[in-house]
Amino acid sequence: MKQWGSGVKPQEEKRAAATVMALLTRKEASVPWKDLSIKPLFGYGSALYFVEQALSHPSNLLKTRLQVDMRVTTDLRYDWLHLCRHIRKTEGYRGFFRGFWFNTSAGIPAQLAYLVTYNWCKERVENLGGPEWKDSAVAPLCAGALAETITSVFWVPLDVVTQKLQIQGGHPPEWCSKNIPKVGGTFQSPIQVARGIIEAD
């Protein structure tokens, strides 16, 4: 009976073993910021962020409105479908994208600011720690924490205004009662929403 692998030449076995070892011991190369193609990176990144927001914004809007539902008893199996019908009937299909243009137009610069800040922090941390930190997880971890902290100045107000815009359409009338305050109902621009937040808080 012919054994498995008996037809493989010793040279081919050595090459295959060398390839496997090279893949197992391969390290990810860290590309310096100055060697990156900035224009394609920003262009493709902005386009992909726009597509991602267009696909996920309707579900985020439904999630935000369901989160501010003050009813004691709810059934998420049917509430999201009921809410979809209410939005389509009262606001049209554009209601599923309420706050989309503000979130996307303000989110693209914020994403680019995070990317620039992350790479700038990563280079500074690597220069501070020396060659040992370039192949470790210390530099990316520190750079990510610093970049997230700095760009939160953009992200937090952006999320607050976006969520205020998303709940403007409100809930179905049967979800409201004397003990449950009405949510939304007044449609405002992002500037009006931001002014109202500043005046109230």
Residue 97, pLDDT score: 92
Tell me the C-alpha distance between 48 and 70, whole Å: 35
Residue 86, pLDDT score: 86
pTM higher than the cut 0.85: no
CA-angle at 86, arms to 80 and 91, nearest 5°:
125
Residue 54, pLDDT score: 92
Residue 24, pLDDT score: 52
Residue 2, pLDDT score: 45
pLDDT confidence of 59, banded at 50, 70, 90? very high
Average pLDDT over residues 150-158: 87
Statement: residue 55 has pLDDT above 90: yes
The model's pLDDT over 96-150, given as tens digits with 9 standing for 90+, comes to 998 899 988 888 888 888 888 888 888 888 888 777 777 777 888 888 888 888 8
Residue 4, pLDDT score: 47
The overall average pLDDT reported for the chain is 77
